[in-house]
Structure 1
């Protein structure tokens, strides 16, 4: 069966006997410019899910984030799809995109990718009443974010809150340790089969001390010569008089 491309902004592809692929690249939620090529919305994800016939989907994410409510909406859409969702963080899943990533039955991170989490944020203009209302709304949103992260986070809610307070970037090892990812992907070049060889004597481990000693042994002569030339001692007055006397004889 040839590849089947579904007409969405996500470049969804289905191939026989393989998981479908969905690319969630770009801003989470509608952009100010209504640029559908750069927007990842709950509506569009739901439409793609309806059209995908495969029972398993590889969802690839690379996004700085966006609208927190859209992130939660996409998270819930993926969780409610009754499909196996494999999340791949291709480079970065930040802010609302990290919420989307939590929908994975498995979350995979290439070793050079990152996950970023922080508290809900907003831009507000108004009087004290408007600001107080915004704070209350943000606190409610934070509770929704915490509930989502805690479905995976291995620590306590207080520890998670501390991470959100700091606006934390997590590398792959850190994300796995905290339960926010499952596996680190390492890309290894395929090796050509080689003829069996005679066993070699084990090499001495390359410690920092060994490397330093080798460099000193290699460059000691040159370094010493430079030092002597640079700091050559001038003769004293007495030595100069003795030398003059010797020359006069």
Structure 2
């Protein structure tokens, strides 16, 4: 078993670290590692601070970890300390909140595989990659509310994002070290709400109304609430 994660309990706080290559030998035929991860996840209660510094790795492992974290009853606060690339970026999308260090990077791209054999084997690999991409887009779309076509194009281009770009596009929520007002139980972000609305409007309209005009309308609406 290749252990790329580690748990630490500090009082009531639980800390999970994912570093290095995710499942370098894959979880496709590995029943033990996912079961151990799930058991350790369920061994405690309360919120989890998940620190990520990984270039990516196995899509199957990332998918399973993403699903386990999304189903966890407590908050999962993702903190990207260095890099969350490829499969690691998928895991990051499971966070209740996603924070990035000022120097951190997040990268998304198309899934990769290596295959040999007959023509039908290559055709099956192509279909598998296409479906894998659609599955990954599901995680990014749920987090960012960006149009699927835009996310697909970003993956085609192998898109790298610093913390500011990641926050702008909805892949992250804040920068680590920012002063946050923790006295309010509920918060409302005008900027994030406007980004979500604009992202929904852009691909669905052929109107010549400018983005700035839409932003002004949203600003007027927010003042009326």
Q: TM-score, normalised by structure 2?
A: 0.71
Q: Bigger radius of gyration, 1 or 2?
A: 1
User: Match for residue 225 of structure 1?
Assistant: none
Q: 1:13 aligns with which of 1, 5, 8?
A: 8
| Unaligned ranges ≥5, structure 2 | 27-32, 180-225
1:75-90 → structure 2 map (5 Å cutoff): 75-90=66-81
SS in 2 for 1:103: coil
Distance 1:30 1:83 in 2: 28
Matched, 1:164 2:124: no
1:52-91 → structure 2 map (5 Å cutoff): 52=44, 54-91=45-82
Matched, 1:27 2:18: no
Count of aligned residue pairs for this structure pair? 171
User: Match for residue 40 of structure 2?
Assistant: 48
1:20-59 deviation digits (Å, cap 9, x = unpaired): 1011112212437xxxxxxxx533421221222x311001
Matched, 1:124 2:119: no
8 Å contact 1:110–1:186 — kept in the other structure? yes
Q: TM-score, normalised by structure 1?
A: 0.64
Q: State the Cα RMSD in Å.
A: 1.9
Matched, 1:139 2:134: no
Q: Which has the higher contact order (CA 8 A, sep 6+)?
A: 2
8 Å contact 2:4–2:20 — kept in the other structure? no
Distance 1:30 1:181 in 2: 26
1:78-137 deviation digits (Å, cap 9, x = unpaired): 111212100011100111110000000000100100101011110111221111110011
SS in 2 for 1:51: coil
